[in-house]
Chains A and B, each alone.
Chain A
Amino acid sequence: MTAQKAAPAPAAPAILPPGVSASDFAGAIREFIEILGAENVLTDADHLAPYTKVMVAESEDLHRPAAVIMARTVEQVQKIMAVCNRVRVPIWPISTGRNFGYGSAAPQSAGQVILDLRHMNRIIEVDPVMCTALVEPGVTYQQLKDYLVENNIPLWLSCPAPSAIAGPLGNTVDRGVGYTPYGEHFMMQCGMEVVLADGQVLRTGMGGVQNTNAWQVFKWGYGPYLDGIFTQSNYGVVTKMGMWLMPQPPVYKPFSIRYEKDEDIHDIVETLRPLRIAGVIPNAMVFANVMWEAAAIMPRSKYYQGTGTTPDHVLEEIKAKEGIGAWNVYAALYGTKEQVEVNWNIITGAIKASGKGRIITEEEAGETEPFKYRAKLMRGDMTLQEFGLYRWRGGGGSMWFAPVTVAKGSETRDQTELAKKILGEFGLDYVAEYIVGMRDMHHIIDVLFDRSNPDEMERAHACFAKLLSEFGKRGYAVYRVNTAFMDQTADLYGPVKRHVDQALKRALDPNGIIAPGKSGIRI
């Protein structure tokens, strides 16, 4: 992109990066325009507005960007780093910027410049033999899915819900998860390209070896394994990411198991954990509660007009009339007909022996929601159905409270009771699912609130802080958090961890120009 001499002067920003003068920032903007072209440097209110909308429970003013710049090449990102170091302009890189409920596209603190990599969206390679892909940050799951379909490549993705508008690089470097056997996305990531703050371009794993063809097949390379330090961090800008894709199985058999009582969560975990660890159930199955299920199909106003916590008797009515369980398991089998049959018999035998739970097959569920969208998720298809969560109470407020849980029945019961109690104190709902990992579970609670109601927003903020601290007292901490609570969460992981995070930051980004505040890390 060449500089456009006739470009109009950029609008004066409403907010400046901390410690940067208006004239210095204007100089930086001019340099960005030279590097990127005027059309890729956004400073006017209209163009910044989409990046300012947040769902977290505090004012957008705390997360307002000073500008947005859009790069298309690695070389441009390198040049941007040089300007940022010189003028001390902090940049907040985003891939597709669809991290709703974790901060959306907006920076952790006001005055950062968003580096939007949405246009850096090449699918560089898909290898149908090794079942790998190499993508840029702006590639969406929809784009990658279309590529596979249109080229008749029988590989499946694993996506978060909702999948269609998010992208694999951003989701994976924030250590998001999906619902297929490849649901632990960072485990299935292989090789990165990272632009460092000093402009060097690092290729991790096998990527530094000249003429290698193993970048996307061997994760560890040689010496210290580095990919992890570029996830949930601010040590570099990831510009390429390798990932493994799942071969389409001959048979796919999604199913649900419905449980009637809240306390059944204990037995669900005890019955299904051994099957997950043994690989009989291969995917990241979920246990979704009644409100999560209901939210996928209707607003709560269908049954309840109040504004506080949804009463238990209303939930009982919803369960009875809508045919929803207190807990609803979604899992799937993948493989040949024979493999699926063997595992199906093991699962149905285990459920029968446990004495509770009603199995629902795809044939029984037909086209009904939420089964249909769950079946899509477990094969990595595109859906936005889970945005129904935002319709449950309405008002556009959402923060994911996502403590890590040991996959033991007693622990899930304790966490569920504690979360429900605290949310109830603030008039909010326990809208939850457990996503089952290899040994852990992600206990995902969507703290939903009406962001247009200042009182409710304030309560949601206080509720989230209390959830973090009360869970923390019992040894529970979240795996990921929104931009409003990154420091409080970092504290839960202890002072030594914070010190090491900071030491790495000072070594790799001594001027602190990349995403200050991400995961509580600053110079």
Chain B
Amino acid sequence: MKFRPIALAALLTLGAAPAVHASPTGVWRGSNEAWEKVCSRCHLSGVGPELRGRQLPPEYIKQVVRHGFLAMPAFPHGAIDDATLDGVALYVSKSRLNAPAKPAPAKKL
């Protein structure tokens, strides 16, 4: 039996998000999903440095994501496309520390 992925409603769109897809298809629904499911797992848990509220330039953020930096892994275009990364970088750059974007609570089966 084969299940068809159910497209969920678009979440809050951050920056220049690409077309909306259900992530079980392997394409980010938007920049917010990439942030929540990858970046935030380290950068909101204290594993990686706090990025919010620092007004980091988007170009700098993108450079670090593509090239990696010390313990920070490098992410190729196959893992995150330019449009999604643009959105993540913009979001991080404009974020404020007192208004954290918390990751969605884990869904229970």
Measuring CB to CB, which residues of chain A are less than 8 angstroms from any residue of chain B? 42, 46-47, 49-53, 68, 70, 96-98, 100, 104-105, 116, 118-119, 121-129, 138-140, 142-144, 146-154, 162, 164-165, 248, 297, 381-385, 387-388, 390-391, 394-396, 451-452
Give how many A-B residue pairs fall within 8 Å (CB-CB): 123
Do A49 and B66 touch (CB < 8 A)? yes
Interface contacts beyond A50-B75, A164-B38: sample of 13 additional A-B pairs, CB < 8 Å, sorted by A = A49-B66, A50-B67, A50-B68, A51-B74, A97-B78, A126-B2, A151-B24, A248-B109, A383-B41, A384-B42, A385-B41, A395-B70, A396-B70
Flag whether B102 is at the interface (Cβ < 8 A). no
Interface residue B57 (Cβ < 8 Å from any Cβ of A): no
Task: State how many angstroms separate the Cβ of B46 from the closest Cβ of chain A.
Answer: 8
Q: Select one of A49, A70, A144, A395 contacting B67, CB under 8 A.
A: A49
Which residues of B, 73-109, contact A by the 8 Å Cβ criterion?
Answer: 73-79, 106-107, 109
Task: Report whether B68 and A53 are in contact in the complex, using a CB–CB cutoff of 8 Å.
Answer: yes
Asked if residues A387 and B42 are in contact (CB atoms below 8 Å), the reply is: yes
Chain B interface helix/strand/loop/mixed = loop
Query: What is the size category of the interface that chain B forms with chain A?
Result: 35 or more
Q: Contact between B1 and A394 (Cβ–Cβ < 8 Å)?
A: no
How far apart are the CA atoms of A121 and B68 in the complex, in Å? 24
CA of A192 to CA of B74, assembled, Å = 29
In the complex, the answer to whether A165 meets B79 with C-beta atoms within 8 Å is yes
Flag if B26 contacts A121 (CB, 8 Å): yes
B2→A125 contact, CB < 8 A: yes
Residue from A70, A100, A164, A395 within 8 A of B41 (CB atoms) = A164
Contact indicator A147/B3 (Cβ below 8 Å): yes
Query: Could you tell me the distance in whole angstroms from the C-beta of B14 to the nearest C-beta in chain A?
Result: 18
User: Is B71 within 8 A of A154, CB to CB?
Assistant: no
Complex contact A128–B1 (CB within 8 A): yes
B23 with A146: CB separation less than 8 A: yes
Give residues of chain B (4-31) contacting chain A, Cβ–Cβ below 8 Å: 5-6, 8, 22-24, 26
Bound together, the chains give a CA A399 to CA B66 distance in angstroms of 22
- A119-B41 Cα distance, complex, nearest whole Å: 23
Q: Report chain B residues within 8 Å CB of A152.
A: 109
A116 to chain B, nearest CB (A): 5
CB distance B76 to A118 under 8 Å? Answer: yes
Give 26 A-B contacts (CB < 8 Å), ordered by A residue: A49-B66, A49-B67, A50-B66, A51-B76, A52-B74, A53-B67, A53-B73, A96-B79, A97-B78, A118-B79, A127-B1, A139-B26, A146-B23, A147-B3, A150-B5, A151-B3, A151-B24, A382-B37, A382-B41, A385-B41, A385-B47, A391-B48, A391-B71, A395-B71, A396-B70, A396-B72
Q: Contact at B47–A387, with CB atoms within 8 Å?
A: yes
Q: Give Cα A153–Cα B1 distance, bound, in whole angstroms.
A: 12
B78 close to A116 (CB less than 8 A): yes
Q: Is A390 a contact of B71 with CB atoms below 8 Å?
A: yes
Does A146 contact B24, Cβ atoms closer than 8 Å? yes
When distances are taken between beta carbons in the complex, the residues of chain A under 8 Å from B41 are 162, 164, 382-385
In whole Å, how far is A381's beta carbon from the nearest beta carbon of chain B? 7
Contact partners of B2 in chain A: CB under 8 A: 124-126
